[in-house]
Chains A and B, each alone.
Chain A
Amino acid sequence: MASYSTNEFRSGMKLMIDGDPCAIVENEVVKPGKGQAFNRIKIRNLKTGRVVERTYKSGESVEAADVMDTELQYLYNDGEQWHFMHPETFEQMAADKTAVGDAHLWLKEQDVCTVTLWNGNPLAVTPPNFVVLKVTDTDPGLKGDTSGGGGKPATLETGAVVQVPLFVAIGEDLKIDTRNGKYVSRAKD
């Protein structure tokens, strides 16, 4: 199994810690003027998203996690699993609820998502930063109000509920920033 020495540690590196794949968020050398050096790292557990701290004696090695990101096209949800396809090899892959998490709110068929694989299996799904989704329900808009001041909730085709300006009406396509779940604008075309 591949492993990394503490002197190779850097942000983003994927390690196996307590049997779970984790990513280094921050690496800091703790070295007293005279005395043993340590690497103190902040790591994100890629399964749970929790961030914890760990300390290693400098020079030690830690097992690498076989984690890689792939760009896959979202196909459909069969009620239990979300199905994706590699756009070139057409290889299909299914992700369960744990892997998809909150990303299901932004998954639109045909969109290309980042699917993080651990030992070849989906571990996490990251939607595109911006998605275009249709409004399926919202209160009637106020005619002529384009000020954007104030707002109201709108339900989108994926089931996500976002705050939108008062002028938005049912059937419109909206551009949403998936990183914060916020309305950006009406879709251009």
Chain B
Amino acid sequence: MSAPSDNPLWQASASFELIKLRADTLRAIRAFFDTKNVLEVDTPILSHASITDPFIESFQTRYLPLTKKIHTENFYLHTSPEFPMKRLLASGIGSIFQIAKVFRQGEIGHQHNPEFTLLEWYRLDWDHHQLMKEVEQLLSSLLLPYIDLAETHFLSYKHAFINTLGINPHTAQRKELLVCLNQVGLAGVLDENEDKDRYLELLFSHVIEPTLGIAENNKACLCFLYHYPASQASLARLGNDEGQIVAERFEVFINGMELGNGFHELNNAQEQRQRFVQDNKARKKLGYPQVLIDEYFLASVDALSDCAGVAIGIERLLMVMSQSEHIDKVLAFPFERA
């Protein structure tokens, strides 16, 4: 056994400068929402139920009563504070924000840490277009003291695919997508009988995303991508764009990296339940665990007013501000040191 001082992993991996940058940024975010009368809220990290999305996996833990008997209820650590925040919205609280630590299994890498910080906020009576403007306003004000920004791009998911790959993601058939994957050197990564969305995700993450949020002069810019395929709606409502049914969902990128995801929120409980059930079916097919559907959330969905919400990854934002290549640079103690 070596003395603790011999193990360098006891030390913080972020510099004091970047630990301070986080504190300054959180203070600036709170000041921003204070001027806009958006209320800060706090909701549970531990929950009976969780998100069903097949590609987001929750940490799970068990409640141990004081008798210390083994048999107890299963709890999930939240992957975003979305459900309880919407329950507050449904009860009429008005526009709200939260800065929360969230947890996602397996997500570790240059841009991922299994425990990370989300800034999530909801705007009552707004749609996703109005919210994108506010996201632009907040992110620009936070980033501009640190980096130069070119003019913001607003681009539909469809046009991103047409511009970069020459295909329409909404109408392209399996065969066309496989030919396209072949052309960009990604043949054989996926089987030939997978869900169409898997091909779109592969093309998107490997070919399109690296080009988003970079202006012509190589300068960084914010890039909002909106109107995802209806099959990738998640918790967004469906709308119509140029005669195509799309999800009123957006994501924001900078320097080829995703910073956040937003929805014009679905407020139809029946449709939301169908999507959860569908997710669990997809999970079964993939051999992934089933997730307990959040009945408290579903009970509130029909009472949810028209609103839009977004979640921004704080560590990603700090990485851009400090021009850090690895998320460990902006975390005091990343996963392996936690």
Contact = CB atoms under 8 A, between A and B. Distances in A.
A35 B204 CA distance: 10
B186 A55 contact: yes
30 contacts: A28-B109, A29-B107, A29-B110, A29-B112, A30-B205, A31-B109, A31-B112, A32-B55, A32-B209, A33-B251, A33-B261, A34-B56, A34-B234, A34-B261, A35-B201, A35-B204, A35-B205, A35-B232, A36-B55, A36-B201, A36-B202, A37-B107, A38-B189, A38-B202, A38-B206, A55-B186, A55-B189, A55-B202, A57-B189, A57-B190
A56 interface: yes
A37 to B, nearest CB: 7
B232 A34 contact: yes
A44 B331 CA distance: 31
A37 B205 CA distance: 9
Nearest to B110: A28
A92 interface: no
A37 B234 contact: no
A110 B282 CA distance: 63
Interface string B204-247: 11100100000000000000000000001010000000000000
Given A34-B56, A34-B234, A55-B186, A40 B206 contact: yes
Interface string B183-198: 0001001100000011
Contact of A32 (B109, B110, B190, B204): B204
Range class of the A interface residue count: 10 to 19
Interface of B: 53, 55-56, 106-112, 186, 189-190, 197-198, 201-202, 204-206, 209, 232, 234, 251, 258, 260-261
Q: Which of A34, A37, A55, A56 has the most CB of B within 10 A?
A: A34
Nearest to B56: A34
A156 to B, nearest CB: 41
Contacts of A30: 205-206
A16 B334 CA distance: 32
A37 B198 contact: no
Contact of B198 (A29, A33, A36, A40): A36
Determine which residue in A32, A36, A40 has the highest number of CB atoms from chain B within 10 A of its CB, and name it.
A36
A50 to B, nearest CB: 15
B258 A37 contact: no
A189 to B, nearest CB: 36
A58 interface: yes
B12 to A, nearest CB: 23
A36 B190 CA distance: 11
Contact of A55 (B55, B106, B206, B260): B206
A32 B189 contact: no
B182 to A, nearest CB: 13
B55 A56 contact: no
A54 to B, nearest CB: 8
A38 B205 contact: yes
Contacts of B111: 29
A29 B105 CA distance: 13
Given A36-B55, A36-B201, A38-B202, A31 B190 contact: no
B332 to A, nearest CB: 22
A35 B112 contact: no
A40 B202 CA distance: 11
A31 B111 CA distance: 9
